[in-house]
């Protein structure tokens, strides 16, 4: 019986974790990758998950046999909607405003695709645990250990989808196999229901509880703590992912590790022997260790620093979840407990995904979650000599003043040091700088942990000082000036504009990926740099005399700093397709970049803000002489821009003798085999230029190595490029993958498995 319940919960969680990425891949080609689409998907699935927990909470008042019958009927009814598959959509039916109407339409569409089965899966784990608690099994008095099986299933789903399912199966086949898994779950659930039916001990929850369970009815304070203890680790996990990809290294699939450790923290916390106080004692140390590289902006060595962040995440999340598990109520309130946990997880996710990008100019939610996790740690036994008594008003005030004084000392010192180091002409060695920036404040934070009878246990004081340390570092980055000219955050990430120490170049960074550089000294103001250098592949294409006459209209998917506009010297019309409005604003800001300033542009510049593939559909067929694709240099490849269907769309918008130029330089992905196969599939010729050797003089003019591909219907359309020895014809090979809207194995072209790529962005 126990094995049946455990396996059913395990399978349910694994299926649940695979639904969202699978459905996301289904809607991406139709709706694009805009924030409104991804945020709506996230909110929809979180809402249905919450609805499933709420349903499990509501049916608790029914007799168990009634619950089994009802859930079995809902299970079978939802199965009628299978398999999960992309439904045909008339483009005219999709709202074009991109606002509330699109979100509502997408919610209805998602409900049709996967709403019913996802609802069933959402409610399965709490219901099965509730049913198990009503049986005469020896472990029924405390069924929360089954939550470990649920999180283990989530771990399997998390790892299996990107590493096994997506590389092996197209989206349509994924839906078919997922439906088979749902059928297996149906058999397991019905079997568990029958087993429970036979071993019921009564129609009311067992009144006998183990000593580890809270034996009284939960209070409002308990419920609030459940929510907070679930929300903070959720926010911490997402914040850790965002911070590492924005400020350390934008590595593909890096998001898997924080989420994996987040799930592991549940497994540890709800296991048989979580050792809560051990994790609680480690929490301040972990928080302080991770604060040091944050305050010092340390990015290298990458692997040890990433390891510190991940270790701190595991310790802090386990501390919060361990306290949450220690507060679990009796089985009469089991489904309510999971409902409040679900609300907390939802709030943490909503805060990071929807609120933080709007209210913070950079990643600050991560630092706040670290401080909150420390504040929430359970106090070590005997940590406060006065904990048993309520302090007088005078003593409470004295403690508060002391805490605030510590905060002011640590925060004020750190901010002052930042200001001094950014303005002084005195040169310090790196070790001295790190000691001043982080070493001294870290020692001060450690001292605040000491429990002094007069001033109480030090957790709050330590957390506040740690917060001051982190906030002072954040404030210095935002307000202290230096090399940072501009910082802005959107739903796509953090954009920064820097100047170098000689104030010779302005650089646009998205996270850690360079998206444009412009010289700001006389004589080189409008010279394209980096991957767009005049001596590079795209420079050659746009300056080729025998091709210029065709390039009266040019489309560029991806704007960056607008470097390509510098080639608009003959009055042509350039249309930039850019998904992030903030990038357009930054590129047009004359204090940052001047490529797009009216006085520097001889032709016409247009902007189409939104998903490039969707927006270019609105252009007339045969409209462009050249389409430039420059959206593949980061750690997250927009796959829907590089599929068979996407290439067919681009070709339809080209003149008969038009050219597609693709920038495929990437540190993490080798896209050459993909492009080779796409060209063959489309009946086109393709040539590649590896411009990876950059001389000293070119380096001095900010040229960067790059790899570009040109594609056309025939060799003649390429003009001199087809006969230039620097451009090598691409001949498809048997193992080249064909990416389609249904299937694309991104993992198969990762250079992490093959060695580094030639051109690094």
Residue 542 predicted with pLDDT over 80: yes
Name the class of domain 1-203.
Answer: mainly alpha
**Every domain of the chain and the residues it spans:** 1-203, 393-482, 496-749
Residue 756 predicted with pLDDT over 70: no
Instruction: Work out the average pLDDT over 223-251.
Output: 89
Choose between 422 and 640: higher pLDDT.
640
Residue 210 predicted with pLDDT over 50: no
pLDDT tens, position by position, 664-702: 998 888 999 999 999 999 999 999 999 999 988 888 888
- Which pLDDT does position 705 carry in this prediction? 93
Residue 472 predicted with pLDDT over 80: no
Indicate the burial class of 138 (C-beta count within 10 angstroms; 0-12, 13-18, 19 or more). exposed
Given the DSSP bridges, would you call strands 505-510 and 513-519 parallel, antiparallel or unpaired? antiparallel
Could you tell me the CA-to-CA distances from 704 to 146, 299, 379 in Å, in that order?
54, 22, 54
Q: Which residues contact 384 (CB under 8 A, 6 or more apart)?
A: 451, 456, 457
What is the Cα–Cα distance from 307 to 304, expressed in whole angstroms?
5
Cross-sheet strand order for the sheet of 573-578? 604-609, 573-578, 553-557, 624-629, 654-663, 706-712, 685-691, 728-729
Choose the weakest-confidence range: 55-69, 314-328, 397-411, 448-462: 448-462
Q: CB-hemisphere CA count at 13 Å for 659?
A: 28
Other CB atoms within 10 A of residue 426 CB: 6
pLDDT tens, position by position, 397-443: 766 777 777 777 777 777 677 667 666 667 666 666 666 666 666 66
- Which pLDDT does position 40 carry in this prediction? 82
Given the DSSP bridges, would you call strands 553-557 and 513-519 parallel, antiparallel or unpaired? unpaired
pLDDT tens, position by position, 726-742: 999 999 888 899 999 99
Give the closest residue to 45 by CA, choosing from 449, 346, 301: 346
Give the closest residue to 488 by CA, choosing from 359, 600, 351, 325: 359
The token pair that represents 208 in the structure block: 């006998």
DSSP per position, 35-56: HHHHHHHHHHHHHHHHHHHHHH
Number of H helices, E strands in the chain: 26, 12
pLDDT tens, position by position, 477-526: 665 455 889 999 888 888 999 888 778 899 998 887 888 999 988 777 78
Residue 553, H or E segment: strand 553-557
Highest mean pLDDT among 9-18, 38-47, 441-450: 9-18
Residue 13 predicted with pLDDT over 70: yes
- Which pLDDT does position 478 carry in this prediction? 65
Reported as a pLDDT band with limits 50, 70 and 90, residue 651 is very high
Instruction: Work out the average pLDDT over 375-403.
Output: 63
Choose the weakest-confidence range: 30-34, 137-141, 266-270, 690-694: 30-34
Residue 656, H or E segment: strand 654-663
What are the beta bridge partners of residue 728?
A: 688
Other CB atoms within 10 A of residue 301 CB: 9
Q: Which residues contact 457 (CB under 8 A, 6 or more apart)?
A: 379, 383, 384, 387, 451
Reported as a pLDDT band with limits 50, 70 and 90, residue 760 is very low
- Which pLDDT does position 230 carry in this prediction? 96
- Which pLDDT does position 409 carry in this prediction? 74
Give the closest residue to 50 by CA, choosing from 122, 148, 99, 102: 122
Choose the weakest-confidence range: 432-446, 454-468, 596-610: 432-446
What is the Cα–Cα distance from 735 to 738, expressed in whole angstroms?
9
Residue 386 predicted with pLDDT over 50: no
pLDDT tens, position by position, 100-118: 788 888 899 999 989 999 9
- Which pLDDT does position 439 carry in this prediction? 65
Residue 586 predicted with pLDDT over 50: yes
Residue 628 predicted with pLDDT over 90: yes
- Ranges of beta strands (E only) in 693-759 are 706-712, 728-729
The token pair that represents 94 in the structure block: 């999709």
Asked if residue 448 lies in contact with residue 458, where contact means CB atoms within 8 angstroms, the answer is yes
- Ranges of beta strands (E only) in 413-503 are 484-490, 493-499
φ/ψ (deg, to 5) at 497: -115, 120
Indicate the burial class of 485 (C-beta count within 10 angstroms; 0-12, 13-18, 19 or more). middle
Reported as a pLDDT band with limits 50, 70 and 90, residue 609 is very high
- Which pLDDT does position 482 carry in this prediction? 56
Other CB atoms within 10 A of residue 665 CB: 25
Reported as a pLDDT band with limits 50, 70 and 90, residue 454 is very low
Choose between 707 and 467: higher pLDDT.
707
- Which pLDDT does position 423 carry in this prediction? 67
Asked if residue 180 lies in contact with residue 83, where contact means CB atoms within 8 angstroms, the answer is no
Distance of CA 157 to the CA centre of its chain: 17
Percent of the chain with pLDDT over 70: 86
Percent of the chain with pLDDT over 90: 49
CATH topology of domain 496-749: Rossmann fold (3.40.50)
Choose between 419 and 459: higher pLDDT.
459
- Which pLDDT does position 568 carry in this prediction? 85
Reported as a pLDDT band with limits 50, 70 and 90, residue 98 is low
Highest mean pLDDT among 101-115, 533-547, 595-609, 671-685: 671-685
Indicate the burial class of 429 (C-beta count within 10 angstroms; 0-12, 13-18, 19 or more). exposed
- Which pLDDT does position 255 carry in this prediction? 84
Residue 239 predicted with pLDDT over 50: yes
pTM for the model stands at 0.84
């Amino acid at each position: 019986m126990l094995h049946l319940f455990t396996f059913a919960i395990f399978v349910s969680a694994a299926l649940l974790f695979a639904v969202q990425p699978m459905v996301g891949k289904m809607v991406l080609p139709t709706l694009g990758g805009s924030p409104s689409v991804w945020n709506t998907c996230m909110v929809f699935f979180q809402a249905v998950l919450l609805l499933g927990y709420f349903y499990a909470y509501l049916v608790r008042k029914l007799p168990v046999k009634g619950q089994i019958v009802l859930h079995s009927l809902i299970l079978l009814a939802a199965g009628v909607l299978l398999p999960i598959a992309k439904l045909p959509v008339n483009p005219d039916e999709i709202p074009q405003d991109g606002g509330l109407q699109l979100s509502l339409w997408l919610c209805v569409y998602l409900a049709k695709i996967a709403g019913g089965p996802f609802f069933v899966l959402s409610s399965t784990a709490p219901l099965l645990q509730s049913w198990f608690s009503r049986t005469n099994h020896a472990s029924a008095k405390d069924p929360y250990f089954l939550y470990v099986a649920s999180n283990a299933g989530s771990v399997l789903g998390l790892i299996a989808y990107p590493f096994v399912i997506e590389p092996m199966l197209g989206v349509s086949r994924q839906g078919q196999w997922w439906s088979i898994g749902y059928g297996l779950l149906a058999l397991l659930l019905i079997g568990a229901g029958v087993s429970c039916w036979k071993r019921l001990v009564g129609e009311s929850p067992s009144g006998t509880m183990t000593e580890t369970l809270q034996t009284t009815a939960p209070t409002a304070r308990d419920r609030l703590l459940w929510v907070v203890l679930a929300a903070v680790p959720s926010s911490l996990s997402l914040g850790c992912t965002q911070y590492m990809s924005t400020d350390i290294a934008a590595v593909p699939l890096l998001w898997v590790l924080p989420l994996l450790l987040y799930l592991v923290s549940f497994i540890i916390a709800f296991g048989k022997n979580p050792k809560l106080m051990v994790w609680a004692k480690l929490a301040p140390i972990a928080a302080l260790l991770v604060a040091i590289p944050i305050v010092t902006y340390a990015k290298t060595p990458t692997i040890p620093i990433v390891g510190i962040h991940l270790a701190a995440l595991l310790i802090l999340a386990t501390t919060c979840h361990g306290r949450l598990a220690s507060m679990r109520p009796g089985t009469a309130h089991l489904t309510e407990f999971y409902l409040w946990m679900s609300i907390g997880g939802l709030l943490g996710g909503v805060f990071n995904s929807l609120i933080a990008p709007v209210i913070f100019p950079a990643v600050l939610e991560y630092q706040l979650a670290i401080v909150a996790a420390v504040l929430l740690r359970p106090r070590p036994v005997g940590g406060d000599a006065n904990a048993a008594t309520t302090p007088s008003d005078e003593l409470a005030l004295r403690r508060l003043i002391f805490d605030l004084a510590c905060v002011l000392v640590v925060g004020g010192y750190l901010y002052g040091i930042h200001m001094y180091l950014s303005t002084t002409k005195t040169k310090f060695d790196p070790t001295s700088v790190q000691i001043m920036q982080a070493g001294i404040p870290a020692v001060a934070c450690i001292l605040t942990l000491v429990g002094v009878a007069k001033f109480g246990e030090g957790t709050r004081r330590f957390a506040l000082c740690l917060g001051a340390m982190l906030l002072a570092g954040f404030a210095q980055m935002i307000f202290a000036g230096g090399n940072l000219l501009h910082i802005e955050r959107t739903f796509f990430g953090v954009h920064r504009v820097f100047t170098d120490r000689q104030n010779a170049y302005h650089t646009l960074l998205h996270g850690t990926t360079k998206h444009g550089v412009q010289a700001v000294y006389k004589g080189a103001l409008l010279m394209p740099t980096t991957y767009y250098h005049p001596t590079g592949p795209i420079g050659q294409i746009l300056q080729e005399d025998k091709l210029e006459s065709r390039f009266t209209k040019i489309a560029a998917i991806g704007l960056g700093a607008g470097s390509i506009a510098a080639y608009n010297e003959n009055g042509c019309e350039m249309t930039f397709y850019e998904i992030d409005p903030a990038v357009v604003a930054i590129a047009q800001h004359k204090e940052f970049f001047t490529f797009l300033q009216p006085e520097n542009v001889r032709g016409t510049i247009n902007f189409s803000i939104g998903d490039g593939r969707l927006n270019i559909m609105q252009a007339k067929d045969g409209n462009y002489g050249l389409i430039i694709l420059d959206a593949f240099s980061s750690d997250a490849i927009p796959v829907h821009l590089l599929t068979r269907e996407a290439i067919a769309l681009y070709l339809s918008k080209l003149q008969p003798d038009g050219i597609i130029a693709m920038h495929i330089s990437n540190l993490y992905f080798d896209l050459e085999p993909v492009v080779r196969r796409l060209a063959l599939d489309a009946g086109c010729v393709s040539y590649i230029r590896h411009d990876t050797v950059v001389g000293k003089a070119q380096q001095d003019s900010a040229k960067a190595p790059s790899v570009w591909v040109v594609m056309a219907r025939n060799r003649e359309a390429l003009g001199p490029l087809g006969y230039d020895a620097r451009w090598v014809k691409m001949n498809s090979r048997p193992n080249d993958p064909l990416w389609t809207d249904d299937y694309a194995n991104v993992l198969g072209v990762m250079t992490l498995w093959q060695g580094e790529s030639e051109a690094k962005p």
